[in-house]
Amino acid sequence: MPEPSGFLLVDKPAGCSSFDVVRQLRRITGIRKIGHTGTLDPFATGLLICALGSSTRLCKYLEAEDKTYSATLRLGIQTSTGDTEGEVIHTSANIPAEVDPEFLRAQVSQLLELRPPRHSALKVNGRPAYAYARRGEALELDPRPVRISEFSVLDFAPPDLSYRCRVSKGTYIRSLSEYIAQCLNCAGHTVALRREAIGGTGVGEARSLEALNAENFRAAFYPTRKLMPGFEFLTPSTAELEQLRNGQSVSAPGQDNLRILLLDEAEAVLGVARRKDDIMYPVINLN
């Protein structure tokens, strides 16, 4: 019997790492091959899309999606990690009594790059940046391209400013909070963070780890059609599937498309293909 494959939407609680979630899912499901589509800091909560079995090969498509967060920035204090877990490294007393939401939106929307936090999982020479930081090694990370497509202030009750944003892959909210604080001529750090969505998939459809067990996790797999709506969906014939699995192309009239998800009649994902000039070529075979 083939190993179960699919995606689970988990509402990660605060106080555990993304890999802690993966470890717990391994215990629940008995499946060793499990990945996720974007790390959440231990203090953060919210949507973690986990791929089980051969579905891990599709993670790269979901990792590239924009992500939506709500966050709370505390003004007046900067920490070594940019969140509540670090040491205080700077304080400022000039906390504003009010803020202009449109001014902040304009400042944030024009951002083209941000420097990642030194305490992050970003790999440098094969090691995560936080490994250097914890050992006190000087490490200046280069700014990375970012795009903030949506931004709004939710509330301002000094010293805390809450906001929501939709950002591109590689955007660190801790760095964004520090940038917002700088726009207000103040220090700041992130005290709360929740991932509300990845692409068009919201945290409201996720489950807690406590709600999953060995008997129900298969039924909890999230429909791939809903998770990856940017794909064309196609169910190949047995002969076509065999050719594609052998690395051969097949005739498939239609528009050129780099993203075709191959499904069987039960909606299980078989692989990814692309079409060029009415010919379909295999890209990923999942089984």
Residue 56's alpha-carbon distances to 50, 234, 245, 271, in angstroms, are 8, 20, 18, 11
pLDDT at 3: 82
Identify the segments of the chain with pLDDT beneath 70: 1-2, 120-122, 124-125, 128-133, 135-138
Identify the bridge partners of residue 49 per DSSP, sorted by sequence position.
9
Identity of residue 263: L
pLDDT at 138: 66
pTM summary value? 0.92
pLDDT at 268: 87
pLDDT at 33: 96
Catalytic residue among 41, 100, 155, 264: 41
Domains of the chain (ranges; CATH) run 6-65+201-223 (3.30.2350.10), 67-197 (3.30.2350.10), 230-285 (2.30.130.60)
Parallel, antiparallel or unpaired: strands 232-234 and 257-263: parallel
pLDDT at 123: 72
Tokens of 229: 């709506």
Instruction: Report the candidate in 180, 145, 186, 182 with the shortest Cα–Cα distance to residue 165.
Output: 180
Instruction: Report the candidate in 54, 59, 48, 39 with the shortest Cα–Cα distance to residue 6.
Output: 54
Tokens of 133: 């930081």
C-beta separation of 81 from 116 below 8 A: no
User: Is the alpha carbon torsion for 266, 267, 271, 276 positive or negative?
Assistant: positive
pLDDT at 198: 97
In sequence order, which residues have a C-beta less than 8 Å from that of residue 123 and are 6 or more positions away?
A: 129
pLDDT at 126: 72
DSSP of 126-144: TEEHHHHHHTT----PPPE
Q: Is there a catalytic annotation at residue 41?
A: yes
Question: Position of tokens 């974007």?
Answer: 38
pLDDT at 132: 67
pLDDT at 37: 92
Element (H, E) at 75: strand 67-75
C-beta separation of 155 from 161 below 8 A: yes
pLDDT at 1: 59
Identity of residue 284: I
Neighbours of 28 (CB within 10 A): 16
Neighbours of 23 (CB within 10 A): 12
